[in-house]
Structure 1
Amino acid sequence: MDAITSKAGQAPAAGARPVPMKKVLLVDDHALFSQGLAGLIRQEGLAESVVIASTVEGASDLLVRQDDFQLILLDIALQGETGLALLPRLASHREPPPVVIISSSEDEATVRAAQAAGASGFLAKSAGRSALVSMVRSVSRGERYFPGGNDPVAPGLSLTPRQMDVLLLLAQGFPNKRICQSLNLTEHTVKTHLKAIFTQLGVHNRTECVNLARARGWL
């Protein structure tokens, strides 16, 4: 069973600060981490209920059946599809909840990829309680939460979010077949995105592409 629901056991005391969110979806395939984070969210009074899914597919199914999530906490490094593959699927939802990426990779390229994919925030897994509280309260107010503020992804960046996803995986050394599997795209679509990226950068191969993208601050 892919989903686990965790609820607060006690009602807030009289005069306590109201819970920012009723229901949060946590997508992470490390059971100890996800259960620990769900417990911490409840302890800090940040949400009444946390539902855990371990895959993009499981999260998608939950979002189809339950439309009352107010926040999605999403790990990138999931088994099977990359977590970023969930973001395009949210486009079909009338009012998709904000998505905050939680990741053990804290490098700038990962943060930029999260921004380009349309995430509302980024929280490193090494962050402490205060950062978690700040993030949830910021997002509950409709604000974005990224390390160093909300600067644009990169000056002059004209890639689409999906092209940025492809570029990030390309920079990690993924072959086309693995990119297809991670993003749930056909090989033709991946090749089309790569051609568009190469054209934007004026390069002719993968190595030149990654090197120039890094030099321009896209990665």
Structure 2
Amino acid sequence: MQATPSRPMPSARPEPPLPLGKVLLVDDHALFAQGLAGLLKQESLAAEIFTAPTVEAATLLLARHPDFQLILLDVALEGETGLALLPRLAASPQAPPVVVISSSDDAGAVQAARAAGAHGFLAKSAGRAALVRMVRAVIRGDGYFPGGVAPLGSDMPLTPRQLDVLLLLAQGFPNKRICQSLNLTEHTVKTHLKAIFTQLGVHNRTECVNLARERGWL
């Protein structure tokens, strides 16, 4: 009797090829951006690195270069908060993964990045080895966050767009700037805010943000 050839054992996911073709670094501190770009090249993580100091500049670069493979994003930028870039990317199925690179690594900052849709979070104080691990994990399709931060539960009662509005509200954005950041009409933003207030049982913006933080939505 002829032996039946055995099936090959499934292999672990292969490491994606490095260096990445194009990486976008969004940070308004020129010296830090130059240093990080240098590390990415020294570790053969990226072949070409573009930098942008603001969300608006990053949006223009993304429109011109749709083939970015990774975005490294600071939160504390001049003008709009860095997290405002994430809602703009949400509508694109081709959007690259985003990792927040921040000087603030408290649990609230990590949770806000995760809730906004970031694929990872790396403190600016992290070392070279952590940078390499982060890039490899994220391009492999895994998340990269500090330990001990629980993901948002599946019972999150807000829609993705309502969560976008809440995140910008928590950054202190008035309705007009929320409209501009999310490309929504003022009526739509007010409708989302009303739904969020109703869900939380609150009556003003301060109560809304405070209770959302208590519940781990921010």
TM range (shorter): 0.7 to 0.9
Task: Map 1:1-219 onto structure 2 (within 5 A).
Answer: 19-148=18-147, 151-154=150-153, 156-177=155-176, 179-180=178-179, 185-219=184-218
User: Per-residue CA shift, 1:60-83, capped at 9, x if unaligned?
Assistant: 222222122110111122222222
Provide the alpha-carbon RMSD of the alignment: 2.5
Residues 173 and 97 of structure 1: CA distance in aligned 2, closer, same or farther (over 3 Å): closer
| TM superposition shift of 1:94 | 4.3
Looking at structure 2, the residues matched to 68 and 146 of structure 1 have their Cα atoms a distance apart, in angstroms, of 25
The letter for the 2-side match of 1:147 is P
| TM superposition shift of 1:164 | 2.8
The letter for the 2-side match of 1:135 is M
CA contact (8 A) 1:121 1:146 kept: yes
Seq. identity, %: 75
| TM superposition shift of 1:155 | 6.2
Aligned to 2:3: none
| TM superposition shift of 1:35 | 0.8
**Greater gyration radius:** 2
Q: Which runs of 5+ in 2 are unaligned?
A: 1-14
CA contact (8 A) 1:80 1:182 kept: no
| TM superposition shift of 1:176 | 3.8
Per the normalisation by structure 1, the TM-score is 0.79
| TM superposition shift of 1:177 | 4.5
The letter for the 1-side match of 2:145 is F
Residues 85 and 208 of structure 1: CA distance in aligned 2, closer, same or farther (over 3 Å): closer
Per the normalisation by structure 2, the TM-score is 0.80
User: Per-residue CA shift, 1:49-70, capped at 9, x if unaligned?
Assistant: 1111112222222222212211
Looking at structure 2, the residues matched to 165 and 93 of structure 1 have their Cα atoms a distance apart, in angstroms, of 15
Residues 42 and 186 of structure 1: CA distance in aligned 2, closer, same or farther (over 3 Å): same
Looking at structure 2, the residues matched to 37 and 218 of structure 1 have their Cα atoms a distance apart, in angstroms, of 31
CA contact (8 A) 1:24 1:51 kept: yes
CA contact (8 A) 2:87 2:182 kept: no
CA contact (8 A) 2:84 2:168 kept: no
The letter for the 1-side match of 2:35 is G
Aligned to 1:11: none
Q: Which moved more, 1:94-103 or 1:106-115?
A: 106-115
